[in-house]
Amino acid sequence: MIVGAGIEYPLDSSTSLVAGINFNNGFTNALKGNNKINTDLGHHGVPNMLELSFR
Protein backbone atom coordinates (compact mmCIF):
# COMPACT_ATOMS: atom_id res chain seq x y z
CA MET A 1 0.00 0.00 0.00
CA ILE A 2 1.37 3.42 -0.94
CA VAL A 3 -0.21 6.65 0.32
CA GLY A 4 1.12 10.04 -0.67
CA ALA A 5 0.38 13.72 -1.00
CA GLY A 6 2.13 16.69 -2.54
CA ILE A 7 1.96 20.36 -3.31
CA GLU A 8 3.27 22.63 -6.05
CA TYR A 9 3.79 26.33 -5.29
CA PRO A 10 4.53 28.69 -8.20
CA LEU A 11 7.34 31.17 -7.48
CA ASP A 12 7.14 33.03 -10.81
CA SER A 13 6.02 32.30 -14.38
CA SER A 14 8.68 29.62 -15.02
CA THR A 15 9.70 28.36 -11.54
CA SER A 16 7.83 26.40 -8.93
CA LEU A 17 8.56 24.65 -5.65
CA VAL A 18 7.36 21.02 -5.35
CA ALA A 19 7.17 19.01 -2.11
CA GLY A 20 5.67 15.65 -1.30
CA ILE A 21 5.39 12.93 1.32
CA ASN A 22 4.83 9.19 0.69
CA PHE A 23 4.29 6.26 3.02
CA ASN A 24 4.96 2.73 1.74
CA ASN A 25 3.61 -0.13 3.88
CA GLY A 26 4.46 -3.72 2.98
CA PHE A 27 1.88 -6.42 3.73
CA THR A 28 4.05 -9.53 3.38
CA ASN A 29 6.85 -10.87 5.53
CA ALA A 30 10.20 -10.22 3.81
CA LEU A 31 12.06 -12.79 5.93
CA LYS A 32 11.50 -16.51 5.48
CA GLY A 33 12.99 -19.55 7.18
CA ASN A 34 13.83 -20.52 10.72
CA ASN A 35 16.01 -18.86 13.33
CA LYS A 36 19.12 -21.06 13.44
CA ILE A 37 20.48 -19.71 16.76
CA ASN A 38 17.30 -19.87 18.83
CA THR A 39 14.68 -22.16 17.28
CA ASP A 40 11.99 -20.86 19.66
CA LEU A 41 12.11 -17.47 17.91
CA GLY A 42 10.88 -16.85 14.39
CA HIS A 43 11.85 -14.26 11.79
CA HIS A 44 9.46 -11.46 10.97
CA GLY A 45 10.14 -8.42 8.81
CA VAL A 46 7.62 -6.21 7.04
CA PRO A 47 9.13 -3.34 5.02
CA ASN A 48 7.85 0.17 5.80
CA MET A 49 9.15 3.46 4.42
CA LEU A 50 8.43 7.17 4.84
CA GLU A 51 9.72 9.40 2.01
CA LEU A 52 10.01 13.20 1.86
CA SER A 53 10.79 14.82 -1.48
CA PHE A 54 11.56 18.41 -2.46
CA ARG A 55 12.29 19.88 -5.88
Spell out the domain ranges in the chain: 2-54
Average pLDDT by consecutive 10-residue portion of the chain (55 residues)? 96 95 91 78 85 95
The pLDDT of residue 36: 79
The pLDDT of residue 46: 86
CA distance 3 to 30: 20
The pLDDT of residue 33: 73
The pLDDT of residue 43: 78
Q: Which residues, 6+ apart, have CB-to-CB distance to 9 below 8 Å?
A: 16, 17, 18
The pLDDT of residue 2: 94
